[in-house]
Amino acid sequence: MTERGWWFLSLVAGVALVALLGAHMAVQHYGAALRALGWIQGPPARSFAAVTARGRILGWAVLYGLLLLFALYHGLYGLRGILLEVWPRAARVITAVLVIAGIAMAVFGTTTIMRAIGGS
Amino acid sequence: MPERQAAGSAVPHPPRLAHHLGVRGWAYAGRYPVERYLFLLHRISGVALILYLPVHIWFTAQRLAGPAAWDATMRVFDRPVFVIGEFLILAAFVFHALNGIRLVLAHFGVSIGRPIVASYPYPVALHRGRVVMWTLMVLAAGLIGISAVEIILAMLGHG
């Protein structure tokens, strides 16, 4: 894929993140407002019961999986752009390090999500 | 004679002109309009979010170790310094998301209008996007304000 393609993919990921991360942030940071509106119920969003319950629901697991992958891609692609401005001659090293870090975090995060679905 | 040339391109690349202020140029933008400073905030908020992400991935994995490990982790995040830190991350996301919407709209020419033949007095594309920009920034301020109220109420024991 060309640089233009990677850039466009970052735009797509960014737009998706507005919705996905918006949903995550709404549950985590606007709990009192959403409860007052009657939109959410149950234990506090950060309690172990609520976290494990969400983790076992397939829809939430898919949302977290997509969120993880889009956030890693969009964030690391943006970071790469900044680093290349400062060290343009180290482009290959910077890209390689960020790709490896991204894959490592994606594997670790996805494993957590998958294990949470199984209830372990 | 240019000092170096972009790889695979016939167009000379003037390195000192393209980046002559270096990292200093990110903060000092001279007499540029407000959008230039939104660019700086977009960059700062983006870096903050991507640096926070590995930490977030790590601590959310603690739920797999059981309720005791999870509660111990959450107690750390209940400390005021982390509460403020989390609020700043939320603020960074809200700003980055809404300013990002403005950038995507502008990227596709939605908020800045179609290209036209320039005739004096020259129109500035940024001025045509000002309504969208201020609408999104007021929305961001409102959302950040609501979260601040939630945090203050929670700290006072009313959340």
SS (H, E, C) B30-97: CCCCHHHHHHHHHHHHHHHHHHHHHHHHHHHHHHHHCHHHHHHHHHHHCCHHHHHHHHHHHHHHHHHH
Q: Which residues of A touch B86 (CB under 8 A)?
A: 29
The pLDDT, as a whole number, for residue B142 is 94
Assigned token pair, B82: 């982390």
What would the DSSP string read from start to end of A25-76? HHHHH-HHHHHHTTS--SS-TTSHHHHHHHHHSHHHHHHHHHHHHHHHHHHH
> Over 90: is that where the pLDDT of B19 sits?
no
> Over 60: is that where the pLDDT of B111 sits?
yes
Distance CA A71, CA A78 (A): 10
Q: Which stretch of A62-66, A96-100, B9-13, B52-56 has the lowest confidence by average pLDDT?
A: B9-13
Which of A48, A68, A114 should we substitute to test contact with B (largest number of B Cβ atoms within 10 Å)?
A48
Say whether A89 sits in a helix, a strand or coil: helix
Q: Is pLDDT larger for residue B147 or for residue A40?
A: B147
Mean pLDDT taken over chain B = 82
> Over 80: is that where the pLDDT of A2 sits?
yes
Q: Which residues of B touch A51 (CB under 8 A)?
A: 63, 70
Contact A48 B23 (CB under 8 A): no
> Chain B within 8 Å of A50 (Cβ-Cβ)?
no
Return the number of other C-beta atoms located less than 10 Å from residue B154's C-beta.
15
Could you give the count of Cα atoms lying within 13 Å of B7 in the half-sphere of its Cβ?
A: 3
> Over 70: is that where the pLDDT of B29 sits?
no
Query: What φ, ψ does residue B13 adopt, rounded to 5°?
Result: -110, 110
Closest chain B C-alpha to A11 CA, distance in angstroms: 7
Closest chain A C-alpha to B128 CA, distance in angstroms: 22
Q: Is pLDDT larger for residue A19 or for residue B8?
A: A19
The pLDDT, as a whole number, for residue B10 is 54
> Chain A within 8 Å of B65 (Cβ-Cβ)?
no
Closest chain B C-alpha to A95 CA, distance in angstroms: 15
Closest chain B C-alpha to A116 CA, distance in angstroms: 7
Contact A31 B150 (CB under 8 A): yes
The pLDDT, as a whole number, for residue B11 is 53
What is the interface pTM, i.e. ipTM, of the complex? Answer: 0.90
> Over 60: is that where the pLDDT of A96 sits?
yes
